[in-house]
Amino acid sequence: MSDKDAGTPRVFLVRHGETEWTISGRYTGRSDIPLTANGEHQVSSSAAVIKALEGNSEITEDIREWEYGAYEGLLTAQIRAARKEKGLDKERPWNIWVDGCEDGEPAAEVAARLDRVIAKIREIQGPYMHGEKGVDVVLIAHGHILRAFAKRWIGFELSMRLPMMLEPGAVGVLSYEHHKVDEPAFLLGVNMGGNE
């Protein structure tokens, strides 16, 4: 954050640690897959970074992973092959951001629940755009939903192409430009020493 934006509230996106399914690229929604040893290390490292942000906590189902339905546990290639057998996607390959998931969630439902989370965060952070009170937020979730959250944060439709990655156990950061709640932005190059 530039000096002129110092003190602006942030939203930390924390992805869960590595599992066997994240290694293989399988869609993991509600399945409870244990972390690998590396995944446990990743989470420990990320926890050290966000420990200073401890405060009130709240759990919301609105930040849960995309409901993959029939695609839970499958690879993208398997999903596309199954859809092709059903005569779907004749003009272009399946794209979760556009097509959603069979027996799961369409993109519009995912966007609607993420927009509720964003509205609540902006309600909390809006009055404190110059750092008058510590109102940083930490979201801990799966990778796909956090990438969807980042798109919605900056006002993109989920169908808009925005290549981005968030490694297992990693921390991403969002904030606002010019201390304005209506100017959400990605925050690159975070100084983890804090806002002083």
Residue 29 in marked binding region: yes
Strand 11-15: give its sheet, edge to edge.
137-141, 11-15, 171-176, 184-186
Q: Please, how many CA atoms are within 13 Å of residue 150, restricted to the half-sphere of its CB?
A: 23
Question: Which residues lie closer than 8 Å to 151 by C-beta, 6 or more apart?
Answer: 157, 158, 160, 162
Q: Report the alpha-carbon distance of residue 56 to residue 64 in Å, rounded.
A: 19
Question: Which residues lie closer than 8 Å to 183 by C-beta, 6 or more apart?
Answer: 176, 177
Find residue 174's DSSP bridge partners: 11, 186
Q: Report the alpha-carbon distance of residue 192 to residue 196 in Å, rounded.
A: 11
Find residue 19's DSSP bridge partners: 35
- Known catalytic residues? 16, 65
Helix H or strand E encompassing 172: strand 171-176
Binding-site sequence positions: 28-29
Binding-site sequence positions for substrate: 28-29
